Chains A and B, each alone.
Chain A
Amino acid sequence: MKAKYDVTKHALVPKHAKASEKEKKDLLESYNITLHQLPRILKSDPAIDHLDAEEGDVIRITRASPTAGETVFYRRVING
C-alpha cells in the first residue's frame, strides 16, 4: 500500500540521494576505508523508498548541522 504522505518532505528527514560510482570511489579513497566500514541504512528504509537503491549502493545524506551549517554523511545500503 502506498502511503498518502510524503516521507521525504517531513521536517525530520534530511535529503537522501544515491551517490554515483565515482563519488563512491572518491569517498572510500579519501578516508582510506572499505565499503564495509561505512554506516548502514536498510534497503527498506522509508526515506530511500523513492531511490530504488540496491544492496551495496552508497546514499549521500545532506544534513542540517547546528555546528557546521550543512554536513554530508554517507551510508551504505544493506538488505533488511
Chain B
Amino acid sequence: MHKDLEDYDGKLPGKMLQELEEKCPAGKLKKAAKRLYEEYLAVKVDSGESVGVVAAESIGEPSTQMTLNTFHFAGAAEMNVTMGLPRVVEILDGRKEIKTPMMEIFLKAPYNKGKDIKEIALALKETTFGELVTEFNLNVVDLKIDVKLDTERMKQLSITTATVVKSLEKGIKGATVKGEGSDLVLKLKGGEDKGLNELYKLKENVRKIYISGIKGIAQVLPVRRHEEFIIITAGSNMKKVLELDFVDAMRTTTNDVQEISEVLGIEAARQAALNEVIRVFEAQGIDVDIRHLMLVVDTMTVSGTVKGVTRYGVISEKSSVLARASFETPILHIIEAALVGESDELNSVVENVMLNQPVPIGTGLPGLVAKIDKEKLEHGETK
C-alpha cells in the first residue's frame, strides 16, 4: 500500500483503497484519499437509522411485482424448480423441508470433461428394487412372489443379482429371498395364517427397498456449463455426495440452506441463503440492493443456526415481550410472559410505539447529558 493511504487503512473499505491506488496518480493520492474519506463518511448509514424497516420495504415491494409474472416451463428437458415468490418465502422462512431440493455436483478432472459422465450420473441416482423389476407375479397358493428382473437396467448400473438378494434380505422381515439370473422368488415365512393381504403388502414394501446410489437423489441430469460437465440432481444429500472421490468437494452445492448449515457450517449457510435469494431476484429481473439482503441473512444466522423470519425463528429471539406479541399470536406471548414474570426494558421500537413514547430511532436515539454545577443550582443561577 502507498504510504499516503496508510492512514486510511481500516477506516475505508479495502476495495476502495485498492481502486484509488490503481486509478489515481501517486502525487494526488493524499488529497484524493482525504476527499474520498469525507464522501465515504457522508454516505454511510447514520446510527439510529431504521435499516430493518428499510430492508423489509425494499425487499417487499419488488416481491409483490414478482408474483404476477411467474414463469411456467413446458416440457421435461429442464427439471422442475421452485422459483419466484414461493422460493423467496421458503428461503427466508428457513424451512427444513424445501419443495424442490436440488444439487449442482461439480466433478474432478477428467470426469468434468465428460468422461464416463452417464455412468457417474446413473451411479448417483437412488435406485430402489421396484425400478429393477419388469414383472411381479403373486402366487397365492404357495404364498410367494415370482419376480422378473430388468437385466439390462442392472447391467447399466453394474448391479448383480447377488447384491440385490443381499439388500432385500437386509430390508425385509418375514420372507425369504432366493434368486438366480433374472428370476427372484420371495416366499412368506410362517405359512398357514397368512394370506393374500400379507403377500400384497410384501410386494408393496419390497418396491421401496434401497439397492444402490445415493439416498435422496431422485433424478439426475448431466449438463454442460462453461466448457465443463456438471450433474444437476433433483433431491439432495450433500454429506454423502461430498464423500465420493470423483466429486469436486470445493464447488458442489445444494439449494437446501438448512442442509448446508449442517454440513458446511453457519457462515456457508449465510452465503448460500444470500446466493439463493439473489438468484431468484436476478432470474426475474428484479434489482434489490444486496445490502438489504445481507442484513436479512445476517439476522437469520446470528444465533449460530439458521432461523427463519417467522414467529418461531428470528422473532422469538427478540428480548422484548411486547415486540414479540406485536408480530403474531399476541395473547399467547403475553400469557407466557406473565406466567414466568418477564420484564420489558422498552429498548426497541414497537414496544415504545405501543406505549406512546419516543422511539429510539434517529433523533429519538440520543439522550441529553448535562453537567450541572450544584452550587449554582442552589443559588438559582442556572444558565
Residues 260-276 of B at the A interface (beta carbon under 8 Å): 260, 262-268, 271-272
Q: Does B242 contact A (CB under 8 A)?
A: yes
Q: A46-B263, A68-B14, A69-B13 are in contact. Are A10 and B304 (CB under 8 A)?
A: no
Q: How far is the CB of A28 from chain B (nearest CB, A)?
A: 17
Q: Across the interface, do B243 and A3 meet the contact criterion of CB distance under 8 Å?
A: yes
Q: How far is the CB of B23 from chain A (nearest CB, A)?
A: 15
In the bound complex, residues from chain A placing their C-beta under 8 Å from that of B340 are none
In the bound complex, residues from chain A placing their C-beta under 8 Å from that of B34 are none
Q: A12-B271, A69-B13 are in contact. Are A75 and B304 (CB under 8 A)?
A: yes
In the bound complex, residues from chain B placing their C-beta under 8 Å from that of A63 are 267, 271
Q: Across the interface, do A39 and B302 meet the contact criterion of CB distance under 8 Å?
A: yes
Residues 24-71 of A at the B interface (beta carbon under 8 Å): 39-42, 45-48, 61, 63, 66-71
Q: A12-B268, A75-B304, A80-B304 are in contact. Are A7 and B290 (CB under 8 A)?
A: no
Our pick among A12, A14, A45, A66 for the contact of B304 (Cβ within 8 Å) is A45
Taken together as a complex, chains A and B put the C-alpha atoms of A9 and B252 apart, in Å, by 11
Q: Across the interface, do B267 and A16 meet the contact criterion of CB distance under 8 Å?
A: yes
In the bound complex, residues from chain A placing their C-beta under 8 Å from that of B272 are 12
Q: How far is the CB of A19 from chain B (nearest CB, A)?
A: 15
Interface string of B271-299 (1 = CB under 8 A from A): 11000000000000000001100100010
Q: A13-B267, A63-B267 are in contact. Are A40 and B249 (CB under 8 A)?
A: no
In the bound complex, residues from chain A placing their C-beta under 8 Å from that of B249 are 4-6, 9-10
Q: Across the interface, do B267 and A61 meet the contact criterion of CB distance under 8 Å?
A: yes
Our pick among B13, B16, B305 for the contact of A42 (Cβ within 8 Å) is B305
Q: Across the interface, do B267 and A47 meet the contact criterion of CB distance under 8 Å?
A: yes
Q: Does B236 contact A (CB under 8 A)?
A: no
Interface string of B292-321 (1 = CB under 8 A from A): 001000100111110000000000000000
In the bound complex, residues from chain B placing their C-beta under 8 Å from that of A69 are 13-16, 18
Q: Across the interface, do B268 and A67 meet the contact criterion of CB distance under 8 Å?
A: no
Q: How far is the CB of B289 from chain A (nearest CB, A)?
A: 9
Q: Across the interface, do A4 and B268 meet the contact criterion of CB distance under 8 Å?
A: no
Q: Across the interface, do A10 and B302 meet the contact criterion of CB distance under 8 Å?
A: no
Q: Across the interface, do B291 and A67 meet the contact criterion of CB distance under 8 Å?
A: yes
Q: A39-B301, A68-B14, A69-B13 are in contact. Are A13 and B265 (CB under 8 A)?
A: yes
Q: Which residue of chain B lies nearest to A68 when distances are taken between CB atoms in the complex?
A: B13
Q: Which residue of chain A lies nearest to B269 when distances are taken between CB atoms in the complex?
A: A12
Q: Does B250 contact A (CB under 8 A)?
A: yes
Q: Which residue of chain B lies nearest to A39 when distances are taken between CB atoms in the complex?
A: B302
Q: A3-B243, A12-B253, A45-B304 are in contact. Are A68 and B15 (CB under 8 A)?
A: yes
In the bound complex, residues from chain B placing their C-beta under 8 Å from that of A78 are 304
Q: Does B251 contact A (CB under 8 A)?
A: yes
Taken together as a complex, chains A and B put the C-alpha atoms of A67 and B294 apart, in Å, by 10
Q: Across the interface, do B13 and A10 meet the contact criterion of CB distance under 8 Å?
A: no
Taken together as a complex, chains A and B put the C-alpha atoms of A38 and B298 apart, in Å, by 12
Interface string of B223-250 (1 = CB under 8 A from A): 0000000000000000100110100011
Q: Across the interface, do A4 and B14 meet the contact criterion of CB distance under 8 Å?
A: no
In the bound complex, residues from chain A placing their C-beta under 8 Å from that of B13 are 67-69, 71
Taken together as a complex, chains A and B put the C-alpha atoms of A74 and B271 apart, in Å, by 15
Q: Across the interface, do A7 and B304 meet the contact criterion of CB distance under 8 Å?
A: no
In the bound complex, residues from chain A placing their C-beta under 8 Å from that of B260 are 12
Q: A12-B271, A67-B291 are in contact. Are A7 and B305 (CB under 8 A)?
A: no
Q: Across the interface, do B242 and A5 meet the contact criterion of CB distance under 8 Å?
A: yes
Starting from the known contacts A9-B250, A45-B266, A46-B265, 11 additional A-B residue pairs (CB-CB under 8 Å) come to A3-B243, A4-B245, A4-B249, A5-B242, A5-B243, A10-B249, A10-B268, A11-B250, A14-B271, A39-B304, A61-B267
* List of 4 A-B pairs having minimum Cβ-Cβ separation, nearest first: A69-B15, A47-B265, A68-B13, A5-B249
Interface residues of B (CB under 8 A from A): 13-16, 18, 239, 242-243, 245, 249-251, 253, 260, 262-268, 271-272, 290-291, 294, 298, 301-305
Interface residues of A (CB under 8 A from B): 3-7, 9-14, 16, 39-42, 45-48, 61, 63, 66-71, 75, 78, 80
Name 12 interchain pairs, CB-CB below 8 A, sorted by A: A4-B249, A11-B251, A12-B260, A39-B301, A41-B267, A46-B265, A47-B268, A63-B267, A67-B13, A68-B13, A70-B15, A80-B304
